[in-house]
Structure 1
Amino acid sequence: MSGAHTRARDNELGDFLRAQRARITPEAAGLRSVGSRRVTGLRREEVAVLAGVSSDYYARLEQGRERAPSPQLMEAVARALQLGADARDHAFRLARLAPTTRATEEQLSPHLRQLLNSFSKAAAYVVNPAFRVIAANEIAAGLIAPAHHDGKVLEYLFLDPTAPTYFVHWDDVAHASVRGIRLSAGFSPPHPEVAALVRRLYVRSPAFAAIWDAHEVAGLTTVHMHIRHPAVGDLELSYQTFDVRESPGLQLTVASAAPGSPSEDALALLGTIEATERGGYGFPTVGPSPQVTRTQEST
């Protein structure tokens, strides 16, 4: 990894604040732009005015010379930079002001396994903070199998040449994934896999490095994906992601199709294929799924 990136790791809060102020024009911040400007976005002193702090203090905060900002100060800076909820929380974590969060041991409770198994017409799987799949129902295993046998979603996305074929709108998926992993990287104390994953991808994938350096941050919520699966063809799926409260840091993702659509039929077929073939993956498969059970009973 480059020396510049190593230095950036020492002042992630400053790098993040600089990236955020570069996105805001004076007009968007309610300021009047006078004369020529040598910087993109807001100047440091303009952020200081909007936040109600001295220019010298804000400069020290960005430069990493002020390491202990108060919650009130960070709240004012977040408002000045018009940070959304995820970006605000990320800034607070970088300033070591948010509650610490660590994922528990990656062993699914019986209740969570039952929940995974209850999705009879949808792919459901659980990932850890490094976006590694640690459990999946049979439909999800069939959906994921061609893409990442070992469950390492981001490594497949950025290092496997087949990824842009599998993810038809690869660029959108890539940006959303990096925004999500940056959110995970801000947790304190960090998950041991996340930092190593970021270093590995930063070195090996110019595309990852470019998106990472943009300092975009957002949690995974609801997205639409077009998947081109080698076994069942094209699928149009809605992905929804939820935090697993009983195991902080883990996330449950559910991929579903419109009722009665060809994509829903394709998901059911993937579950049937997985139930009969059961590939060897780097994550446990929860099953049999109710959908597959009913299919078998009817034959």
Structure 2
Amino acid sequence: MDDLAGFLRTRRSRVDPSAVGIPADSRRRVDGLRREEIAHLSGVSVDYYVRLEQGRATQPSEQVLDALARVLGLDDTEREHLYRLARQRKRRTKTPSARLRPELLRMLDLIDAPALIMNHRLDALAGNRLAELLYGRRLPGLNTAHHIFLEEAERGLYADWETCTRDAVGHLRLAVGKYPDDPRLASLIGELSMGSERFRKLWARADVRARTHGPKPYQHPLVGRLELHQENFAVPDDSGLELLILSADPDSPSADALRLLARLGEDHVPEPHVVDQL
């Protein structure tokens, strides 16, 4: 689903030649840097770099990876992804199980904000009452990537839909790099690729994003605009799970709207929803 060769090609195409001291040339026919330019700037032979981009060179050294990351201008997330892809053939990471500890489930109900537990495929494995009311359905049964890209009627829930799509694809790219042998992840990527042109375009960019916190606005059909802040907490074990909490500023209109949503939901049970092939 993802490999070192493809990642190098997409990163190379985005480097501005002038940023690495190469004069502008009106005759340049490629976006970004040429292969020989990357090789020269990285201190490797052109033949070796070509073999890297063709997937014929395996196990590049740490020094080579450091040099490539520097020339390509990779951020910390991209650098980590580069190293992971380079080591895939040597060490495969076992896909984690989705077993939820009872203590985690109890903790969800103690959080006075929408909170859910999510795996690397963006499956919501559990959520508290406010999370179910926010998404309008029972949890589990929600895959947020499927929800964002393929459920047209639900798109309006995401007030900043374009950013959500980039975050989802960036997260799934990282997941593929960590768990390349996960068949359910491969199935999800295939379904999203078949069903969404937006997904196909973003996936082709090979961007990786690690969203750990930030604004997450919603446009809820019952209570209107919700300006929430998302925090992601990695569960401290080898499950690969994350706890997501969506909070509102105290005494803000969004905090009032969440309280109203909780009251409105006292007599309403969201319908269960199951996404196939997840």
Residue pair 1:138, 1:275 contacting (<8 A) in 2 also: no
Q: 1:14 aligns with which of 5, 25, 48?
A: 5
Matched AA of 1:137: N
Taking the aligned partners of 2:138 and 2:17, their CA distance within structure 1 comes to 44
Residue pair 1:102, 1:249 contacting (<8 A) in 2 also: no
C-alpha deviation, 1:43, in angstroms: 1.1
- Name the structure 2 match of 1:266: 257
- Name the structure 1 match of 2:105: 113
- Name the structure 2 match of 1:193: 184
Q: 1:141 aligns with which of 132, 136, 139?
A: 132
2:165 is the counterpart of 1:166 = no
Residue pair 1:221, 1:242 contacting (<8 A) in 2 also: yes
Matched AA of 1:117: D
Matched AA of 2:96: T
- Name the structure 1 match of 2:232: 241
Matched AA of 1:248: S
2:18 is the counterpart of 1:52 = no
Residue pair 2:78, 2:208 contacting (<8 A) in 1 also: yes
- Name the structure 2 match of 1:295: none
Q: 1:227 aligns with which of 179, 196, 218?
A: 218
Residue pair 1:226, 1:237 contacting (<8 A) in 2 also: yes
- Name the structure 2 match of 1:292: none
Matched AA of 1:261: S
Residue pair 1:147, 1:156 contacting (<8 A) in 2 also: no
Cα shift readout 1:122-158 (whole Å, capped 9, x = no counterpart): 2111111110100111111111225998211111111
Residue pair 2:97, 2:239 contacting (<8 A) in 1 also: no
TM-score when normalising by structure 1: 0.83
Cα shift readout 1:25-57 (whole Å, capped 9, x = no counterpart): 112223334562111111111111221111110
C-alpha deviation, 1:273, in angstroms: 4.3
Residue pair 2:192, 2:199 contacting (<8 A) in 1 also: yes
- Name the structure 2 match of 1:155: 146
Structure 1, 78-87 or 28-37: larger mean CA deviation: 28-37
Matched AA of 1:186: G
Q: What are the within-5 Å matches in structure 2 for residues 207-222 of structure 1?
A: 207-222=198-213
Change over 3 Å in CA distance of 1:243–1:29 after alignment to 2 = farther
Change over 3 Å in CA distance of 1:92–1:282 after alignment to 2 = farther
Q: 1:123 aligns with which of 102, 111, 114?
A: 114
Q: 1:177 aligns with which of 168, 171, 176?
A: 168
Taking the aligned partners of 2:125 and 2:226, their CA distance within structure 1 comes to 23
TM-align CA RMSD: 2.4
RCO (CA 8 Å, sep 6+): is it higher in 1 or 2? 1
Change over 3 Å in CA distance of 1:16–1:128 after alignment to 2 = same
C-alpha deviation, 1:74, in angstroms: 1.7
Listed as ranges, the gaps of 5+ residues in structure 2 are none
- Name the structure 2 match of 1:291: none
Taking the aligned partners of 1:281 and 1:247, their CA distance within structure 2 comes to 29
Structure 1, 270-279 or 68-77: larger mean CA deviation: 270-279
- Name the structure 1 match of 2:242: 251
2:86 is the counterpart of 1:95 = yes
Residue pair 2:138, 2:273 contacting (<8 A) in 1 also: no
Matched AA of 2:110: S
C-alpha deviation, 1:266, in angstroms: 2.0
2:123 is the counterpart of 1:132 = yes
- Residue 162 of structure 1 aligns to a residue whose secondary structure is helix
